[in-house]
Amino acid sequence: MTVGIIGAGITGLTLSHRLADREADSVAFEASADPGGVVRSATVDGHVLERGPQRTRLTPGIESLVDDVGLREDLLTADPELPMFVYANGALGVAPFSVRKFLTTDLLSVRGKLRVLAEPLTASGHENETAAHLFRRKFGDEAYENFIGPLFGGIYGSDPAEMPAGYAPSPILNLERRSGSLLRPAIETGLDNESKPPISFTDGMQQLPRGLYEANSDRVHLDTPVTAVHEAEDGYRIETEDGAETVSDVVVTTPADASADLLEAVAPDAAARLRRLNYNPLALVYLDADNPREGFGYQVRREEGLRTLGVSWNDSLFGRDGVHTAFLGGMTDPEILARDDDYLGTVAAEEFRQVTGAEADVIEVVRLDRGFPAWDRSWRHLDGLDLPEGIHLATNYTARMGLPGRIREAGSLAETLSD
């Protein structure tokens, strides 16, 4: 039995690695000449820039991979207790990700804090209400507007008012069903995150997928786009410009539109559903600034009237020589990506100065036309999605986003496919 994997992002590479651990045959194909998928790093004018995820956390699954591919010495860790800020009411306030920060944050009044603590008394959420409605109803308007909305929506470049709770990227309703409330898992997550430091690597986040590729290069083919998938007598035939490979199972890890094209011949209804999924466009503006504060960065409350969604403080976290990554666009402001790079850089730098008081120079502007899955109402098209036996989707649009979630899914799938 050979497992065919389409895509050598973090999911495909981890799956290849874990199948190799279990002595199961696999072959992976990646259209790009460089592994990593959305995990991209570059060095520009001496600055290490992240063109995808800015960081992750040192979960057991990630730590295992780090040691497997010999990256321990290149591992960079940050203080997990550094604050995350929200720009609200014209000032930076500390997001209440711990009990201590909840008690001391100025993002919430005393009345607002009492309203949050009353969350276990509210009615359970349901799949058809939006994430915004759910959060307002459970935690109150003040908490939603001042930190939940900016953080939950800003991280994904999306609008919680357009995200059905049943399709949100974090399993909100599952957490509530398991714990009986949303407050308890929020506290547990905060405590858990404080034990798992934020990490990157000396040359950026892409060091991890590159290390995984080097460890599994005998079963991963770069610069080899898949042109089609067809049924075969003993499974499926994966076709590339260089030939074809017959496999028992196909695991597709590519973005929804690319997955749709690949699955057209074997699962036309699923392909049609995948083509309807929306993505949010993003612009990443890299700034060089001497920011006196320390922290993860900040997200911006929508009522502030800024076009910046948020800024990651790469310098503070990992000593990235003044680098701060500003995010613009997303679901609420996609039209800004029609403007030129000079305009985007000017907006990001001026708004960064307004928020932090620090002057900033623009290093580079990068555009992601399909930055993040939108998790909006288009996700209803996944209801009833049916795949033929032996075809699997393992992606950031059908399960949890973020490297820890991708690595967990790949590990679980490796167990299933190698049994």
Residues of the chain with CATH 3.50.50.60: 2-39+207-277+382-418
Question: What ranges in 118-234 are assigned the alpha helix state H?
Answer: 131-139, 141-143, 149-156, 172-179, 183-194, 207-215
Question: Contact at 8 Å (CB) between 226 and 6?
Answer: yes
Residue with tokens 């002057």: 359
The DSSP bridge partners found for residue 2 are: 25
The values of phi and psi at residue 354, to 5°, are -60, -40
Residues of the chain with CATH 3.90.660.20: 279-373
Map residue 56 onto helix, strand or coil.
strand
Q: Regarding beta strands 198-201 and 75-77, do their DSSP bridges make them parallel or antiparallel, or are they unpaired?
A: antiparallel
Question: Contact at 8 Å (CB) between 366 and 328?
Answer: no
Map residue 86 onto helix, strand or coil.
strand
- Per-residue confidence in pLDDT tens, the chain, 419 aa: 799 999 999 999 999 999 999 999 999 999 999 999 999 999 999 999 999 999 999 999 999 999 999 999 999 999 999 999 999 999 999 999 888 888 899 999 999 999 999 999 999 988 889 999 999 999 999 999 999 999 888 777 889 999 888 877 767 778 778 888 888 877 766 656 667 899 999 999 999 999 999 999 999 999 999 999 999 988 999 999 989 999 999 999 999 999 999 999 999 999 999 999 999 999 999 999 999 999 999 999 999 999 999 999 999 999 999 999 999 999 999 999 999 999 999 999 999 999 999 999 999 999 998 888 999 999 999 998 999 999 999 998 887 778 999 999 999 999 999 97
Question: Residue 174: its pLDDT value, please?
Answer: 80
Map residue 57 onto helix, strand or coil.
strand
Burial, 232: exposed, middle or buried (Cβ in 10 Å; 0-12, 13-18, 19+)?
A: middle
Considering only the top CATH level, what class is 97-193? mainly alpha
Residues of the chain with CATH 1.10.3110.10: 97-193
> Between the CA of residue 239 and those of 152, 213, 250, 378, what are the distances in Å?
40, 21, 12, 30
Question: Residue 176: its pLDDT value, please?
Answer: 78
The values of phi and psi at residue 333, to 5°, are -150, 50
- The CATH fold assigned to 279-373 is Polyamine Oxidase; Chain A, domain 2 (3.90.660)
Which H helix or E strand runs over 76?
strand 75-77
- CATH for 2-39+207-277+382-418 is 3.50.50.60
Long-range contacts of 271-274 (CB under 8 A, 24+ apart): 273/381, 273/382, 273/384, 273/385, 274/381, 274/385
d(CA 195, CA 323): 26
d(CA 382, CA 276): 9
| Farthest CA pair distance, the chain | 67
DSSP 165: G
Q: Taking the model in full, what pTM does it have?
A: 0.94
Question: Residue 97: its pLDDT value, please?
Answer: 84
d(CA 173, CA 118): 18
> Between the CA of residue 153 and those of 147, 241, 309, 312, what are the distances in Å?
10, 40, 9, 15
Nearest to 249, CA basis, from 273, 264, 266, 261 = 266
What lies within 8 Å, CB to CB, of 23 at 6+ separation is 418
